Amino acid sequence: MRHIVFLIAYIYFLLIDCKRKEIDILALTIYAVVALITIAITYKEINTESLIDTIFSIAFGLAIYFVSYFSGEGIGLADGMYFVINGLLLSLKENIILFLTGIVVAFVVGMITFYFGKFKNKKNLRLPFMPCFLPAIIGYILCIV
Tens digit of pLDDT for each residue in 61-110? 999 999 988 887 777 788 889 999 999 998 899 999 999 999 999 899 88
Q: How confident is the model at residue 52 (pLDDT cuts 50, 70, 90)?
A: very high
Please state the pTM of the whole predicted model: 0.84
Axis-axis angle for helices 77-89, 92-116 (nearest 10)? 150
pLDDT of residue 141: 81
pLDDT of residue 121: 61
Q: Rounded to whole angstroms, how far apart are CA atoms 85 and 6?
A: 10
On whether the CB atoms of residues 88 and 94 are closer than 8 A, the answer is no
pLDDT of 42 > 90? The answer is no
pLDDT of residue 115: 81
State mean pLDDT over 124-130: 75
Number of domains in the chain: 1
Q: How confident is the model at residue 122 (pLDDT cuts 50, 70, 90)?
A: low
pLDDT of 58 > 90? The answer is yes
Per-position b or e across 5-32, b if 16+ CB within 10 A of its CB = bbeebbeebbebbeeeeebeeeebeebb
On whether the CB atoms of residues 86 and 52 are closer than 8 A, the answer is no
Which residues lie closer than 8 Å to 19 by C-beta, 6 or more apart?
A: none
